[in-house]
Chain A
Amino acid sequence: MPPFTTSRRQLLRWVGAASAAGLAGCAGGSGDGTELVATLGADVSTYDPTQANDTTSRKAFGLVYEPLVSVDFEGNVRPTLATSVDQQDDLTWRVSLREGVTFHDGSDLTATDVKATFERYEGTPRESDVFLWYDDATVRDDTTIDVTLSEPYAPFRLSLGGVPIVPEAVATGDLDLSNGPVGTGPYAFDAHEPDRLYRIVRNEDHWYDGDGVPETPPIETVTFRIIVEQSSQLAALQGGDIDLANNPPADAVADLRQDDAITISDRLAGGFEMLVFPLATEPFSNRDVREGVSRLVPREEIIESVYGGIGQPAYAPISPLLSDYTSDAFLQEMGDEHMRYDPEQARQLLDAGFADLGIDPPYETTIVTNETGDRVRWAQLVRDELNRTDYFDVSLEQFEWNTYISRVLAGDSHRSDAMMALGWSGGWDPDTYLRNLFYSGQATPSCCNAAHYANDEVDRLLDEALTTYDTAARRDRYEQAQRQVVADAPVAFVRFGTRIEAFRTDAVDGFRTYPLDSGEFTAIYAPWAGTYTTTGGG
Chain B
Amino acid sequence: MPRNPLDGRGRLRVRGFGSDDADGDAEAATATTPTTDRWRRAWTRFRRDRAAVAGLAVIAVMALLAVFARPIEVSGVVVQPVALAPYDPGASGVAPAYRPPSLAHPFGTDWAGRDVFSRVLYGGRYSLSVGVIAVSLALLVGVPLGAVAGYVGGWVDETIMRLVDVLYAFPFLVLAIALVAVFGQGFWKLVGALVAVGWIGYARLIRGEVLGVSERDYVLAARALGASDRRILRRHVVPNAIAPVIVQATLNVGTVVLSAAALGFLGLGLQPGTAEWGSMLSAGRDTLVGGEWWVTVFPGLAVFLFVLSINLVGDGVRDALDPDADTDTYRGAR
Contacts and interface: CB of A to CB of B under 8 A. Distances in A.
B286 A249 contact: yes
B184 interface: yes
Majority SS at the chain A contact face = helix
A17 interface: no
Majority SS at the chain B contact face = loop
Contact of B285 (A231, A369, A400): A231
Interface in B181-199: 181, 184-185
Interface stretch (B44-52, B133-141, B157-165, B268-276): B268-276
Given A231-B289, A238-B289, A396-B273, 10 more contacts: A251-B98, A251-B286, A305-B112, A369-B272, A373-B286, A379-B272, A398-B272, A399-B181, A400-B267, A402-B181
B41 to A, nearest CB: 50
A396 B185 CA distance: 10
Nearest to B285: A231
A459 interface: no
B61 interface: no
A400 B179 CA distance: 12
B171 interface: no
A251 B181 contact: no
Given A231-B285, A305-B113, A377-B111, A252 B271 contact: no
Interface string B241-282: 000000000000000000000000001100111000000000
Interface in A371-386: 371, 373, 376-377, 379-381, 383-384
Nearest to A304: B97
B294 to A, nearest CB: 13
Interface in A201-233: 230-231
A316 interface: no
B181 A376 contact: no
Nearest to B274: A396
Interface in A384-420: 384, 395-400, 402-403
A251 B290 contact: yes
A73 B93 CA distance: 38
Contacts of B177: 400
B95 to A, nearest CB: 12
Interface in A229-249: 230-231, 234-235, 238, 249
Contacts of A305: 92, 97, 111-113
B291 interface: yes
B287 interface: yes
A231 B273 CA distance: 20
Nearest to B292: A251
A380 B290 contact: no
B31 interface: no
Contacts of A371: 267-268
Contacts of B267: 371, 398, 400
A255 interface: yes
B286 A255 contact: no
Contacts of B90: 384
Contacts of A376: 272-273
B221 interface: no
A396 B97 contact: no
A301 interface: yes
B271 to A, nearest CB: 5
Nearest to A401: B267
Contacts of B91: 384
Contact of B268 (A249, A255, A379, A400): A400
9 contacts: A305-B111, A369-B272, A380-B92, A380-B272, A384-B91, A396-B273, A397-B184, A402-B181, A403-B181
A369 to B, nearest CB: 7
Contacts of B113: 305
Nearest to B289: A234
B64 interface: no
A272 to B, nearest CB: 21
A397 B273 CA distance: 11
Contacts of A380: 92, 112, 272-273
B82 interface: no
Contacts of B111: 251, 305-306, 377
A380 B98 CA distance: 17
A403 B289 CA distance: 30
A230 B290 CA distance: 11
A231 B112 contact: no
Nearest to A234: B289
A241 B287 CA distance: 20
A395 B185 CA distance: 12
B173 interface: no
A279 B329 CA distance: 74
A373 B98 CA distance: 16
Given A234-B286, A384-B90, A398 B292 contact: no
Interface in A4-51: none
A400 B265 CA distance: 12
Given A301-B93, A399-B184, A252 B290 contact: yes
Contacts of A384: 90-92
Contacts of A235: 289
Pick the most buried of A238, A301, A304, A371: most chain B CB atoms within 10 A of its CB. Answer: A371
B91 to A, nearest CB: 8
Nearest to B91: A384
A318 B309 CA distance: 56
Pick the most buried of B112, B184, B290: most chain A CB atoms within 10 A of its CB. Answer: B290
B54 interface: no
Pick the most buried of B181, B267, B272: most chain A CB atoms within 10 A of its CB. Answer: B272
B288 interface: yes
A301 B273 CA distance: 17
A306 B288 CA distance: 17
Contacts of B112: 305, 377, 380-381
A246 to B, nearest CB: 14
Contacts of A255: 290-291
Contacts of A256: 290
Pick the most buried of B97, B111, B185, B291: most chain A CB atoms within 10 A of its CB. Answer: B111
A148 to B, nearest CB: 46
A398 B269 CA distance: 9
A381 B273 CA distance: 10
A402 B267 CA distance: 12
Given A305-B97, A381-B92, A384-B92, A395 B289 contact: no
B299 to A, nearest CB: 16
Interface in B23-45: none
Contact of B286 (A230, A301, A306, A403): A230
A241 B161 CA distance: 49
A171 to B, nearest CB: 39
